[in-house]
Structure 1
């Protein structure tokens, strides 16, 4: 059963080494993410799964100890998902960017709890498939926690990665309200087509969370909401 969840954005700029001189601009978002991870630790899960969008149309699981890197954004920094594997030759495929940011958050929070696995989702996954995947995850252990990585729309301003789309602010407001209140029906009802058009990478992860949380009776708390760089970022904790 799902006992806790943390919802966090996944820009590499959360990592201070990547943000460099701009790092202070995301201090409040970074602190909120670490507070949310603290809620996961307090729940004492038997299993922690980091969920986020995959890259290049791929969806795959990642075992504990999977390795990630920020070399793709010009920083010589490696991360490990949870505890480092004894034999790095068996580490397998590298973590996608969203899961690498999640692994960095766990490392920053000095996670020493349950083994941490990763799950990359198709950004275009159907809402029903996401919810079913969430229900399956929740059945895997008596106490399951999720670190849910994903951004809102990338179309909030003229300089945003997706340029300005007048629908973006309303979409983000709806998603943020639902995530902060742990409103499962509202999250499940988010429009997948609109989310894709607005480049909202978190939609599939959020709907997986909604599926996992059915019958769990969790309450939500909004910790942060803003749109730096024209991208919607939401941090919430469910417990």
Structure 2
């Protein structure tokens, strides 16, 4: 059963070594992520599952000890998902960011990862979430994903006037732990707005069905024209 969840953005720029001289620009997001992970720790889950967007090669389960790297972003930095021996598994970027957050929080409990494809249909997301929630008596999720990438002219997806409203409703739903609203997110619109968090958020919705969790929005901003949201459910 799902007992807690943290929702965090997943840009590699969240890692100071990657952001370099601009690292301070996401200090607020990092602090909010740390607070959200604190909520997970306080729930004392039997198992933590990290869910994040992934390309085809990064999908499927990732065992504890899987390694991620930021070499593709010009930084000689590797991270490992959870404590223990390194495995041959390679984390997609979103889960590598999550592994960095967990290392920073000194997470010591059992953890595994799941990469989900951006096109995954909502119904499949709900089914996947329900299956994750049933894996242990006390399950927590760390859900990685960004909002729209179309908030400004310089955003990766250029300016789309629908983006601000999309992110505002996502922020409201995540802050209120509104499962029905998350399930109702328009997958086609999310794709058009390059919102990589849509599928992971809907996995969360499937996991949280009937759990009766409350939510709190800890951070909401679009510093690079991309919607970054942090929320905690407990």
TM-score range, shorter chain: over 0.9
Report Cα offsets for 1:200-231 as digits up to 9, x if no partner: 00000000000100111100000000001000
2:182 aligned with 1:179: no
Residues 1:31 and 2:31 are matched in the alignment: yes
2:14 corresponding residue in structure 1: 14
In the alignment, the residues of structure 1 paired with residue 29 and residue 81 of structure 2 have an alpha-carbon distance, to the nearest angstrom, of 21
Matched, 1:153 2:158: no
Q: Does the aligned pair in 2 maintain the 1:66–1:81 contact within 8 Å?
A: yes
Alignment gaps of 5+ in structure 2: none
Counterpart in the other structure of 2:161:
166
1:24 and 1:138 map into 2 onto residues whose CA distance is 36
CA distance in 2: counterparts of 1:31 and 1:93, whole angstroms: 29
State the shift of 1:93 in Å. 3.2
Measured after TM superposition, the shift of residue 118 of structure 1 is 0.3
Q: 2 CA distance for matches of 1:84 and 1:237?
A: 27
Aligned partner of 2:218 among 223, 227, 231: 223
Counterparts of 1:166 and 1:92, CA distance in 2: 43
Against the structure 1 CA distance between its residues 173 and 228, is the aligned structure 2 distance closer, same or farther, given a 3 Å change threshold?
A: same
Compute the displacement of 1:55 (Å).
1.8
Distance 1:211 1:59 in 2: 18
Structure 1, unaligned stretches of length 5 or more? none
The alignment yields a C-alpha RMSD, in angstroms, of: 0.9
* Distance of 1:16 and 1:59 partners within structure 2: 26
**TM-score, structure 2 as length reference:** 0.98
Report the count of equivalent residues: 234
